[in-house]
Structure 1
Amino acid sequence: MTPSLSARLSELSHEYALTLRQLADPEVLADSSHLVKLTRRQRELEPITSLYQEDQRLAQTEVQAKELLADPEMRELAEAELEGSRTRRNEIAAELEVLLLPTDPDDAKDVILEIRAGAGGDEAGLFAADLLRLYERYLGERGYKISILDESSSSLGGFSKVMAEVRGTYAYRTLKFERGVHRVQRVPATETQGRIHTSTVTVAVLPVAEPSDVHLDLADVRIDVYRSQGAGGQSVNTTDSAVRAVYKGGTPEEIMVVCQETRSQIKNREKALEVLRTRLAEREREAFEAGQSANRAAQVGSGDRSEKVRTYNYPQNRVTDHRLSGDDKNFALDTVMGGSLGGVVDALTRLEREALLASMTDGAA
């Protein structure tokens, strides 16, 4: 381990200790916004600090083992101790290399997930519902909470669009590779001649914006209240609880958000404004990236909603992720649709890390 890396790890270890002390401060506990940020930072620093402390213990073990090399009776034991320590320290160095890579500042945030049927009519709507079930299974097994905020049902039990909120540790990091166009190839239930149809569904994954992330002037927002509708609304339509928030209505900047999650008009209003802030933040992010000469070198795909990211081929029981290559890009469709999306996410995460390492190496050259 180089002196500069050791010094950096020492700084992070001290920051971790300070963060733990702050989390025990009653004043911090009373400030929910500050508490959330500190908790996220504590989670980021914990694995780094744990590995650094293990490396320090192993370094001390090596010092003691080297002292025993001069003793003929202890030499064999000392050599074995040194070999084991050096092997583990090399492993730690590799793990720390990954953990110290630059991280996406949005990784730890909650998510607004939007699924919209594209080309393909009713079949696209049915596949939108299939994707929602896939995400519900995948996220549920990992302890995430997913809540439907708004939905528009299509015929045959599908969705023309559905919007959900996903809450949990590193929700955005877990879902960010789902952004883009998902293509399905299969024989629709309504197809009488057995022909394979191709349909598309667009998935947007938006990190939930905090009030400090974007300025939202409530003077630019019109709030409408009405009775909830649709399959989701039937369970909450005993009152006029659904809320529509319209930002700069009638202008090119208009953004409309509908929320009918709960029976509470107040809670639906708060959630609608949260989603509105999130969409404003996403608009600003897209405008910023569009103004850059190139996307970040380490980005896996552009993240654009028009980018085809994955194909689900039912006749061949195969899911192909187009950002991967070789044998790594294909997965068993029945396994993935059953909620086992982890293999795809892990492969894309490795690709992102490799790209980051490569960009850092190129930058240092």
Structure 2
Amino acid sequence: MAEALEVTPAELDAFADRLGEVESYLHLDEKRTRVSELEAKSVAPGFWDDADAARATMEEIARTKEDIAAVDTARGELSDARAALELAEEMGDDPDAAALREEAAATAERLARAIDELELSSWFTGEFDHGDAIVTIKPGQGGLEAQDWTFMLFKMYMKYCQRRGWKVTINDCPAAEVIGIDRATFTVEGKDAFGMLRAEAGVHRLVRISPTDDKRRRQTTFAGVEVIPVLPDDIDIEISPDDIRVDVYHASGPGGQGVNTTDSAVRVTHFPSGIVVTCQNERSQIQNKAACMQILKARLYEIELEKRAEALDEIRGPKTTIGFGNQIRSYVLYPYQMVKDLRSGVETSNVEAVLDDGDLDPFVIGYHRWATGNADAETPSA
């Protein structure tokens, strides 16, 4: 028989303290004032004369209201849990008291997850943390295996984005000749997408029995993940037409899925930096070129930040060889099963949940808790 869920008044007091800290980090009073100001602005005459500015304002209203509603909902959950627990205590040995205690515990469990999310968002203080992200996955050491590992990571991130409710646009995902993919680039739109996903930037290591080896030997393979922000419209990166070459070619994709088969794929080469960006997801050359230019501008902006700060981890973490000794996370499928983040120490033996279902939140949250110095005395586990 499963053990009944329980929660104590002390645990609810701890939740209240954490929630108070989150409210302070998020400046809830300032956000409420800001919403009032923006809503007054949105009903003023001529507000929609500048459509782009108006849309940006409405998006800010929606985001800010979402933060406020999340805290208000958590406050309501805390109040409900307290009320149920207090009533159960008053009822003593009444048979219905046990049901109330379980209700309080279940509410507290939801509250804990909500506060985890709110704390995570409050840690995002970077300029682009609350915005969208561009993710690129490339094979490293491991030959054909690395291309297959790149495809496995690509599918894992697709599942993760789906779990988070984020919108994904696949910009480029060409199939490799034998197995897997040559690379993948995709844009992720959603709340805190860049802040969350920058936890994934770095080298990912896979250990398993090689599916391409007739002798069934163990193989170690690597792939690199790059995460950069989608730049807001108010950041303008000038690119001279003379500095780029635009090539059009035939699109391809893994299994022929998700990619058109017309000659609309676009490759943009930026001569001064040597950056090459490809996009083949959209149905027209114009759309694909626009997507390429968005990615190119984001990468050029990153380079400029690196020049100013002389610190590559400003945006995506240190640039390292995609191979031995540089991994941020290991995925071991043989001789045992484990996924372990080498920075935060978060680990799990449920590799299927991670790779097949995209259950990455424990690793992402664990990384940010570690990175912000908010690590608990006990290492979090997946």
Query: In structure 2, what is the equivalent of residue 36 of structure 1?
Result: 56
Q: CA deviation at 1:349?
A: 2.9
Map residues 1-365 of structure 1 onto 2, 5 A cutoff.
10-24=29-43, 27=47, 30-33=50-53, 35-36=55-56, 39-40=59-60, 43-44=63-64, 46-48=66-68, 51=71, 103-231=125-253, 235-238=259-262, 240-247=263-270, 249=271, 251=272, 253-290=273-310, 302=317, 304=319, 306=321, 307-315=326-334, 316-325=336-345, 328-339=346-357, 340-355=359-374
Aligned length: 314
Deviations 1:64-122 (CA, angstroms, capped at 9, x unpaired): xxxxxxxxxxxxxxxxxxxxxxxx9xx99999887665612212222211110000000
Note the alpha carbon deviations across 1:256-308, whole angstroms, 9 max, x for none.
Answer: 2122212211111111111111111121222233259xx78xx9x94545542
TM-superposed deviation, 1:35: 3.0
Taking structure 1 as reference, are residues 19 and 352 closer, same or farther at Cα in structure 2, changes over 3 Å only? farther
- Where does residue 81 of structure 2 map in the other structure? none
Q: Are the aligned partners of 2:210 and 2:219 in contact in 1 as well (CA < 8 Å)?
A: yes
- Root-mean-square deviation (CA, aligned residues, Å) is 3.9
Distance in 2 separating the partners of 1:222 and 1:233 = 31
AA in 2 matched with 1:263: R
When residues 166 and 101 of structure 1 are mapped into structure 2, their CA distance, relative to the original with a 3 A threshold, is closer
Q: Percent identity?
A: 25
Alignment check: 8 A CA contact 1:183 1:308 kept: yes
CA contact (8 A) 2:204 2:224 kept: yes
User: Larger Cα Rg: Structure 1 or Structure 2?
Assistant: 1
Describe the SS at the equivalent of 2:182: strand
Q: After superposition, what is the alpha-carbon deviation per residue over 1:135-163, rounded to whole angstroms, capped at 9, x for unaligned?
A: 11111232222222123322333112121
Alpha-carbon distance in 2 for matches of 1:171, 1:94: 16
Q: Is the 8 A contact 2:168 2:186 kept in 1?
A: yes
* Secondary structure of 1:125 counterpart: helix
CA contact under 8 A between 2:203 and 2:329: conserved in structure 1?
Answer: yes
Whole-angstrom distance in 1 between the partners of 2:70 and 2:209: 52
Residue-by-residue CA offset, 1:322-354 (whole Å, 9 max, x unaligned): 1113xx334521110122112222222332343
TM-score in terms of structure 1 length: 0.72
DSSP-derived class of the 1:245 partner: strand
Pairwise CA distance, 1:51: 4.6
State how far apart, in whole Å, the 2-side matches of 1:93 and 1:115 are: 31
Offset at residue 180 of structure 1 (A): 0.3
Measure, in 1, the Cα distance between the counterparts of 2:74 and 2:189. 32
Gaps of 5+ in 2: 1-19, 79-107, 377-382
CA contact (8 A) 1:177 1:345 kept: yes
Instruction: Provide the C-alpha distance between the structure 2 equivalents of 1:166 and 1:9, rounded to a whole number of angstroms.
Output: 27
What TM-score, normalized by structure 2, do the two folds share?
0.69
Runs of 4+ that moved beyond 6 A: 52-55, 91-99
Aligned equivalents of 1:93, 1:346: Cα separation in 2: 12
What is residue 362 of structure 1 aligned with on the other side? Answer: none
In 1, Cα distance between the equivalents of 2:181 and 2:216? 23
Going from structure 1 to structure 2, the CA distance change for 1:146 and 1:191 (only over 3 Å counts) comes to same
Measured in 2, the distance between the counterparts of 1:95 and 1:137 equals 19
2:74 touches 2:115 (CA, 8 Å); kept in 1? Answer: no
CA contact (8 A) 1:324 1:348 kept: yes
